[in-house]
Amino acid sequence: MERSREQVGAPSEQVEARSEPLARSVERVDGAREQVAWPIEEVAGSTRSMDPATRSFPLSQSSPGRGREPSLTYEAECIVFWLMTHRIALLVTGASGMLLPRHVLGRLAAHPEIERIHLVVSAGASQVLRHELGSDRTGAEDLAAAAEMAPAVRAKVVVHRDNELDAPVASGSYRLTGTAVLPCSAGTLGALATGSARTLIHRAGAVALKERWPLVLGFRETPYSLVHVENMRRLLYGGAILLPPVPAFYIGGEDLGRFLDHYTLRVLDGFGIRELGEPGLRWG
């Protein structure tokens, strides 16, 4: 049933009505959940893009299945949004470009609204890691170490083997805000386009498509063949977000780190996670 504005009330009215902090449920490292206080004044100041006709958020911008009601009005959506934390799957496949997952992993883990990152590295990606990040970098744990995260931030990252088909991210009942494949190899692109799911990475990508939460694909190949284009076409029809790591020349400078920061912003945009970014990383 649609809830009226009178039932929900404006954010400022809600602040006056209750001074105690709201609480949200947060997943601990051991998998248990606990209630954590959240300052109500931060809830009141929140904003997010909405459908002006219905004054509610499109489902594609929401995190499905995390207790949200699609019919909530704008004011209620603001509060629910700020009480919500995010769980992300980061899937690393055997294409060149291992600076991408290293950088994105560190930025995602440091984001205050992200409570858990499920990291999976394929066998092919382990080989590329060794070539691009050093001979001592051969797997998911090494990739996490290369991201140089503080211990509290590193604790958000859960590592899974690519053959671990009973991992939480292999099921749509384990709700995620979004899934990213960075970099996305041509083989993984083809597996996702055809529904093959023989590895955890393929299965987690298929779950994102069927559950219709954001699937961001950093397809790292050039030039494209007709097979690549057909696979991308099928995935776009299926709801995936094709986000190739193309430099944003308009941000200026020659610093690779700025390009990686900008690309991370676009990944967060794809997930619908609020992040302003450093000055100059966004146009205007």
What's the CATH fold of domain 86-271?
A: Rossmann fold (3.40.50)
Count of Cβ atoms closer than 10 Å to residue 99 Cβ? 18
Q: What share of the chain is helix, strand, coil (3-state, %, to 5)?
A: 40, 15, 40
For the stretch 152-194, pLDDT in tens is 999 999 999 999 999 999 999 999 999 999 999 999 999 999 9
pTM score, whole prediction: 0.72
Q: CATH 3.40.50.1950 occupies which residues in the chain?
A: 86-271
pLDDT for the residue 253: 84
For residues 223-243, one letter each, b for 16 or more C-beta atoms within 10 angstroms of the residue's C-beta and e for the rest, the string is: eeeeebeebbebbeebebbbb
pLDDT for the residue 84: 63
pLDDT at 249 over 80: yes
| One-letter amino acid of 92 | V
DSSP 167: S
Q: What's the Rg (C-alpha) of the chain?
A: 20
55 Rama class: left (phi>0) / alpha (psi -120 to 50) / beta: left
CA distance 153 to 5: 39
CA 18, chain centre distance (Å): 32
